[in-house]
Structures are given as C-alpha cells and as structure tokens.
C-alpha cells in the first residue's frame, strides 16, 4: 500500500467519524424531544482491489440509520389531549387542516390550537375517523387515509335529547286515609330540548291501592302555559302487605284496563306546542315484589305525605362543550354541561411491515417509502396496533450514557485517523527532501 493510499484510508476514517459525531450531536440535542427516534451510525469497510493482494486499498464508509420501531419510555402528562402509542404503530397527521400531505408520527403532544384543531408541537394536525351519532365510523372505506379528517373539538355542538325513560322512587304513606291525594312534579324534555313540568297526583283508593294521574305538561318556567297532551294515565298501583310494590294496571282512553310491568309503563306526550315531535316515555316505578322503586310504609306523621321522593330522567337541553376524554381504543368523547357525553372521533393507528424503512421528515415524523411498505389503518389495540395512552407522552429513545460512550469512541478514532494523515504527510515530506 502506498503512502497516498494510506492517506485516502485515513481520510475515509475522518469522514466516517465526522458522520458519527453528527449523529451523536443530533441525538444529544433531541434527548428531551417527544417521540424522537435516535440515529445510529453503521460502519462498513471497503477495499479497492487491484491485480495483486499487496495493492489492495482499505477504507470505511458510514451510514446513519434511525431505529423508528424502537419504543420510548411513556411518561404521564397533565394535558389530557397528550397521547402516546404503547406498542407498534403511529398517529396519522397532516401538515394542513384539509387536503394536506399525510405523515406518521409518534409525537403525541397534541393540544387544541386557536381554530380548535388538535395539533402537536411540530404543527401537524391529528387525523381521525368521524363517528356517527350511534358511535360507528361514518366513512365507508376506513382503510384509506382519505376517510380521515383533521380532528376539531370546538366545532362540536351539544344536541338536545327527548326524555324517553323516567324513574321514580318514593314512599307512599300507608297511614294516609282513603281518598287522600298528594302531588309531585317531574321534568320532561321534548325533542327540541325544552324543559316541561308534569304534575302527578297520587290518590289512595283503598288499602294497599293507589291511583296515579298526570296533568298535561306545562312550561317549566311558566306553569300556566300548557305545552302538550299526555296519555297513558290513570295507572293503578298495588302494594303487598309488607309494603313492597306488587303490581300495576293501566287504563286507556276507552276504559280498557291492562296489567303492565311496573318497571316499564309506557305513556306518551303528543301535540307539543314547541314544534317538537311526539314523545314516548317508559316509566319505571320499581320491580314487582321489590323495594327499589315505590314502597308503602307508614310516614309516622300526623299529616302524612309522600316521602323520599326521587325522579330521574334521561333527557336534556342543548349543552356547551366542557371537555374531552380519550380512551385506550382511541375513542374521543365530548362532554357537555348538560350531562351529555358523545363519541365524536376515533383515532386510528397506522402500522407498517417495516417501520424502520420509513423516511424521516423530522426526528419524530415520517413518510411512507417502498422499503416500509404500505400503511395499514387499524383501531388501537387491534392486531399489530398498539394501544393509546391519553394524558401521556413517549420520551425520546436517546440514552445519554450510550451517546457519550459513542462520542469518546468517535473522538479516539478520529484522532487516530488524523495521526495517520499527519504521519503520511511527514513521510512524503521526507521523500521530497531526499530528492533535494
């Protein structure tokens, strides 16, 4: 090997170690970057062969590669919209709110921007499947990123819900006299979210027997304004001798008496003056032979009255968004101040046959390549896809102790290669001096 060949080999070493130092520097700088995937430097020897073994010239090449599939440590975060993928896969993101370039990331530092979109610290928009009112995915082809849209939280509006179930718990005084009557009010919401009040009258007709009637609903804010017509009453309620609920019968408008399940008594409200559609309500007075609803015990008062009155119903007025929650399957639920909770989006997880073949856009954002294979959109926790941990972030995969060890090794190799160049230069200087 000639002196110049030795210099070429040493120079290749200098170049390779410089590349390694650049990798180490980038890793150390991003040791606290969320979702960052550290790079490693791979060295490969090469030989320029001639006709004889003695004339073979050795050298080295270096390439940096990123271990994209490596899992970083997951740490908790105070921000509920921060997320981490625990396992394989990536969040699908876009560089624009609509019609942007799709990319994939492990950087789950998402928060709501000024326009209401979930964006991470690199400015990428989180993509998800929009859900229908019944919680199913609206898109017909959920295997394509075309089925996704940027998740916007402030555009979510609360919707009203008509009352469809009414549960009553109370004690009717057994020490009341026959023909004694008591009243109680319940709240019903129509389909447009208007609050209405219904006055129910409880009349003792005989021992262990009560008749329940209901007045037409009125505005909750003004009891003088009738808002609809109620039907399905009167209802006769019977009790056992131990005070537990026994049975119930319902009388229709023609006078026909029907035995009904006391836990599922149907009545309706028609002709809402608010313009709402008719309401059908199932009323639960309790289980037959049970004490989980209506009971009949002595009040112990000189002037008996209904005791322990509680009514529950499932209707509500339109509400305002108060917050969101995300579960491990990626379902984003909106919560409203009226008590409504609704699933609005599902966050997919994209998996690849060879995640390490992805091309880096940034240290934590990647694009698909031929080497990575095509993406597969999966629901979190399905098959190869990892689960989603809300209120968490994935740390950088950089280990500082490893990087400092690599730095020392690179520095020593670089110094040794530079010494070879210096020595070769001195030998050439000696050769030139001999000629002089």
pLDDT in tens, 65-89: 788 888 888 999 988 899 999 999 9
Q: How many CB atoms lie within 10 A of CB 359?
A: 14
Q: Which of 328-337, 358-367, 386-395, 414-423 has the lowest mean pLDDT?
A: 414-423
User: What's the pLDDT band for 8 if we cut at 50, 70, 90?
Assistant: confident
Q: Which two tokens stand for residue 339?
A: 């008590």
User: What's the pLDDT band for 64 if we cut at 50, 70, 90?
Assistant: confident
Q: Which two tokens stand for residue 7?
A: 């210099």
Task: Give the percent of the chain with pLDDT over 70.
Answer: 97
pLDDT attached to residue 124: 95
pLDDT attached to residue 435: 67
Q: What are phi and psi of 23, to 5 degrees?
A: -65, -45
Count Cα neighbours of 300 within 13 Å in the Cβ-side half-sphere.
3
pLDDT attached to residue 128: 94
Position 50 pLDDT exceeds 60: no
User: What's the pLDDT band for 419 if we cut at 50, 70, 90?
Assistant: confident
d(CA 371, CA 369): 5
Q: Higher-confidence residue: 410 or 201?
A: 201
Contact criterion met (CB below 8 Å) for 232 and 251: no
User: What are the distances in angstroms from CA 325 to CA 57, 69, 130, 237, 341?
Assistant: 63, 27, 15, 43, 10
pLDDT in tens, 98-141: 889 999 999 999 999 999 999 999 999 999 999 988 888 888 88
Q: Higher-confidence residue: 170 or 383?
A: 170
pLDDT attached to residue 1: 52
Interhelix angle 400-435/3-29, nearest 10 degrees: 160
Mean pLDDT for 172-177 is 94
Task: Give the percent of the chain with pLDDT over 90.
Answer: 58
Contact criterion met (CB below 8 Å) for 260 and 250: yes
pLDDT attached to residue 16: 83
Contact criterion met (CB below 8 Å) for 112 and 154: yes
pLDDT attached to residue 436: 63
d(CA 320, CA 218): 25
Q: Give the 3-state secondary structure of 248-291.
A: EEEECCCCCEEEECCCCEEEEEECCCCCCCCEEEEEECCCCCCC
What is the dihedral angle through the alpha carbons of 219, 220, 221, 225, rounded to the nearest 10 degrees? 20
E-only strand ranges, 4-73: 39-48, 57-66
Mean pLDDT for 300-325 is 90
Residue for token pair 């990319």: 103
Q: How many CB atoms lie within 10 A of CB 213?
A: 15
Structural domains in the chain, sorted by start: 3-67+397-435 (no CATH), 74-158+321-394 (no CATH), 165-313 (2.60.98.20)
What rounded mean pLDDT belongs to the chain? 89
Residue 314 DSSP SS3: coil
Q: Higher-confidence residue: 430 or 387?
A: 387
Position 414 pLDDT exceeds 80: yes
User: What's the pLDDT band for 397 if we cut at 50, 70, 90?
Assistant: confident
Q: Higher-confidence residue: 194 or 426?
A: 194
d(CA 436, CA 433): 5
d(CA 286, CA 245): 7
Mean pLDDT for 145-162 is 89
Residue for token pair 């530092």: 109
pLDDT attached to residue 167: 97
Contacts of 237 (CB under 8 A, 6+ apart): 172, 209, 210, 211, 212, 245, 247, 248, 262, 285, 294
d(CA 111, CA 420): 54
User: What's the pLDDT band for 51 if we cut at 50, 70, 90?
Assistant: low
Q: Which two tokens stand for residue 37?
A: 């995937």
pLDDT attached to residue 48: 62
Contact criterion met (CB below 8 Å) for 346 and 91: no
d(CA 346, CA 323): 16
CA-nearest of 348, 370, 349, 351 to 69 is: 351
Q: What is the largest CA-CA distance in the chain?
A: 137
Position 14 pLDDT exceeds 80: yes
Mean pLDDT for 12-34 is 85
d(CA 169, CA 174): 15
Mean pLDDT for 11-22 is 85
Position 381 pLDDT exceeds 70: yes
d(CA 169, CA 155): 39
d(CA 368, CA 216): 64
């Amino acid at each position: 090997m000639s002196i110049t060949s030795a210099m070429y080999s040493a120079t290749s070493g200098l170049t390779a170690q410089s590349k390694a130092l650049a990798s180490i520097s980038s890793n150390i700088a991003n040791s606290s970057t969320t979702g960052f995937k550290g790079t490693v430097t791979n060295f490969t020897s090469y030989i320029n062969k001639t006709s004889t073994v003695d004339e073979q010239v050795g050298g080295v090449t270096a390439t940096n590669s990123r271990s994209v599939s490596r899992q970083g440590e997951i740490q908790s975060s105070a921000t509920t919209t921060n997320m981490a993928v625990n396992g394989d896969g990536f969040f699908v993101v876009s560089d624009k709110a609509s019609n942007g370039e799709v990319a994939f990331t492990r950087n789950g530092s998402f928060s709501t921007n000024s326009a209401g979109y979930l964006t991470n610290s690199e400015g990428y928009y989180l993509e998800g499947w929009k859900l229908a009112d019944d919680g199913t995915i609206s898109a017909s082809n959920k295997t394509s990123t075309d089925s996704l849209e940027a998740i916007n939280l402030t555009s979510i509006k609360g919707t009203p819900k008509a009352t469809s179930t009414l549960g009553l718990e109370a004690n009717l005084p057994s020490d009341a006299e026959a023909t004694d009557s008591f009243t109680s009010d319940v709240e019903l919401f129509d389909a447009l979210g208007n609050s209405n009040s219904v006055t129910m009258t409880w009349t003792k007709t005989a021992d262990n027997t009560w008749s329940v009637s209901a007045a037409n609903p009125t505005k909750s804010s003004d009891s003088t304004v009738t808002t609809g017509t109620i039907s399905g009453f009167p209802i006769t309620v019977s009790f056992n001798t131990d005070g537990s609920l026994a049975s119930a019968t319902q009388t229709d408008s023609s006078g026909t008496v029907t035995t009904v399940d006391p836990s599922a008594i149907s009545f309706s409200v028609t002709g809402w003056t608010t313009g709402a559609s008719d309401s059908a309500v199932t009323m639960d007075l309790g289980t037959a032979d049970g004490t989980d609803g209506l009971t009949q015990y002595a009040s112990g008062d000189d002037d008996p009255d209904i005791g322990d009155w509680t009514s529950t119903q499932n209707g509500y007025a339109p509400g305002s968004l108060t917050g969101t929650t995300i579960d491990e399957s990626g379902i984003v639920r909106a919560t409203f101040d009226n008590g409504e909770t609704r699933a609005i989006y599902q966050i997919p997880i994209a998996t690849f046959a060879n995640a390490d073949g992805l091309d880096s856009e940034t240290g934590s954002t990647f694009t698909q390549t031929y080497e990575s294979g095509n993406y597969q959109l999966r629901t979190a926790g399905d098959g190869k896809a990892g689960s989603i941990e809300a209120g968490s972030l994935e740390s950088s995969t950089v280990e500082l102790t490893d990087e400092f060890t690599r730095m020392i090794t690179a520095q020593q190799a670089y110094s040794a290669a530079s010494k070879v160049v210096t020595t070769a230069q001195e030998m050439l200087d000696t050769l030139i001096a001999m000629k002089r």
